[in-house]
């Protein structure tokens, strides 16, 4: 089965609410859709979105990378899958968002070719997941209101974005903690906003107020692996590495140093499905569990992450896949269903994507 063409285009997706973290503020994003056609008529869909502050991949750089890789992949046989993936990753360094989008489309084709849903093709069974809901970093009263709305929507696990002044963050979390009922669990993501010392002060302060959180994600600068290690050695809190870990090699470095208790895998950070599976397998060797997350992106790429979660359900135990639930529109027909707070995989072959509406093909 030969790759005949690779098309890509844009859909502008407005968010229901402005999304704010310590790193970025967004009211919309550009979904970059990839469509690979083959000589036997099978069509594979992939997707990514720019995330300047996290991946460093802009809309322009993603489109340039797709343009660069397109002639390298066209004319190749899908059956040479390992060679294809190696080519994809070795032809250009970094630029993992574009690589993730292409990998997703290639895996979609590969699974359709054997008439299996992608998760089953990858060896998965689990079909239903409950996602966390992210609470944006805002004034306390706005965060409390968002918490109430998330609970009303049925979310039982909230990931609270902090990472501003840590003393103010304690007050934000205290107000949220006083709002939730006992069925709700809280997680904190500081998105690199604190120093290691701030982080210790924060954890001591919330412990003093009897505020319970499941984990503290990426409190320090992404290059400060020693800072993560400092925290892990001095607290009993579960420390999660997110922006510090892009590649499988990063995962090995963090795990060898015992600098994190959990790893947050994202397809756009690592470069796609094959790398995400590698990272989950590396974590299993070190007996470390994973979360699977996303940037602000659409239902194809976040759906693909859910398929990965299914195939490594022993390692990947937390699902931070709420991005499509923040979107005002879902241009994707078919595929994974995002019905807040639930994510449900279908039995359709591949990703099950039938069409994407409103794409401005380039
Ligand atoms: Mg994070």
pLDDT tens profile 68-109: 999 999 999 999 999 999 999 999 999 999 999 999 999 999
In the chain, CATH 3.30.390.10 covers: 3-115
182 CA to centre of ligand 1 in angstroms? 24
Please state which CATH number belongs to domain 120-356.
3.20.20.120
- Under a CB-based contact definition with an 8 Å cutoff, are residues 101 and 270 in contact? no
Centroid of ligand 1 to alpha carbon of 4 (angstroms): 37
Closest CA to 193 of 20, 21, 22, 24: 22
- In whole angstroms, how far apart are CA 185 and each of 35, 155, 182, 214, 316? 39, 9, 8, 7, 18
CATH 3.20.20.120 domain span(s) along the chain:
120-356
Q: Determine which helix (DSSP H) or strand (DSSP E) holds 275, and give its type and residue range.
A: helix 273-285
Spans of the chain below 50 pLDDT: none
Give pLDDT, residue 231: 98
Ligand 1 centroid – CA 220 distance (Å): 11
Question: Tokens 């006083």 appear where?
Answer: 178
The pTM for the full model equals 0.97
Q: How far apart, in whole angstroms, are the C-alpha atoms of residue 86 and residue 71?
A: 15
Looking at residue 292, what is its pLDDT?
A: 98
What pLDDT sits at residue 135? 97
What whole-number percentage of the chain has pLDDT above 90?
99
Find the 295 Cα to ligand 1 centroid distance in Å. 9
pLDDT at residue number 220: 98
Superfamily of domain 3-115: Enolase-like, N-terminal domain (3.30.390.10)
Name the token pair of 22: 């310590």
Active site residues per annotation: 161, 266
- Cβ within 8 Å of residue 191, ≥6 positions away: 21, 22, 23, 161, 163, 217, 218, 242, 243
Dist. CA 174–CA 155, nearest whole Å: 19
| Of 251, 268, 273, nearest in space to 65 by CA | 268
- Read off the tokens for 225: 């692996």
């Amino acid at each position: 089965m030969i790759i005949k063409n690779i098309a890509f285009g844009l859909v502008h997706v407005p968010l229901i609410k402005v999304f704010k973290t310590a790193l970025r503020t967004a009211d919309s994003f550009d979904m970059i859709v990839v469509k690979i056609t083959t000589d036997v008529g099978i069509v594979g869909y992939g997707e990514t979105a720019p995330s300047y502050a996290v991946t460093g991949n802009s809309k322009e750089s993603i489109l340039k990378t797709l343009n660069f890789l397109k002639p390298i992949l066209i004319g190749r046989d899908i059956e040479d899958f390992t060679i294809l993936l190696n080519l994809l990753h070795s032809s250009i360094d970094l630029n993992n968002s574009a690589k993730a989008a292409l990998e997703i489309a290639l895996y979609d084709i590969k699974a359709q070719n054997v008439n299996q849903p992608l998760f089953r093709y990858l060896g998965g069974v689990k079909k239903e997941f409950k996602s966390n809901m992210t609470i944006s970093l805002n004034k306390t009263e706005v965060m409390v209101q968002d918490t109430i709305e998330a609970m009303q929507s049925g979310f039982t696990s909230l990931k609270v974005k902090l990472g501003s002044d840590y003393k103010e963050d304690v007050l934000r979390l205290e107000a949220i903690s006083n709002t939730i009922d006992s069925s709700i669990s809280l997680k904190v993501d500081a998105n690199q906003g604190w120093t290691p010392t701030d982080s210790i002060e924060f954890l001591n302060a919330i412990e003093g107020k009897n505020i319970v959180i499941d984990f503290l994600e990426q409190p320090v600068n992404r290059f400060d692996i020693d800072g993560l290690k400092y925290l892990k050695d001095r607290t009993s809190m579960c420390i999660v590495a997110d922006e510090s870990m892009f590649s499988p090699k990063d995962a090995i470095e963090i795990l060898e140093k015992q600098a994190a208790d959990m790893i947050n895998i994202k397809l756009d950070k690592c470069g796609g499905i094959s790398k995400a599976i590698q990272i989950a397998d590396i974590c299993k060797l070190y007996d470390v569990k994973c979360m699977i997350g996303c940037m602000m992106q659409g239902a194809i790429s976040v759906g693909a992450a859910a398929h990965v979660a299914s195939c490594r359900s022993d390692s990947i135990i937390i699902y931070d896949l709420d991005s499509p639930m923040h979107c005002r529109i879902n241009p994707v027909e078919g595929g994974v269903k995002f019905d807040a707070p639930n994510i449900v995989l279908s039995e359709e072959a591949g990703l099950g994507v039938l069409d994407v509406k409103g794409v401005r093909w380039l």
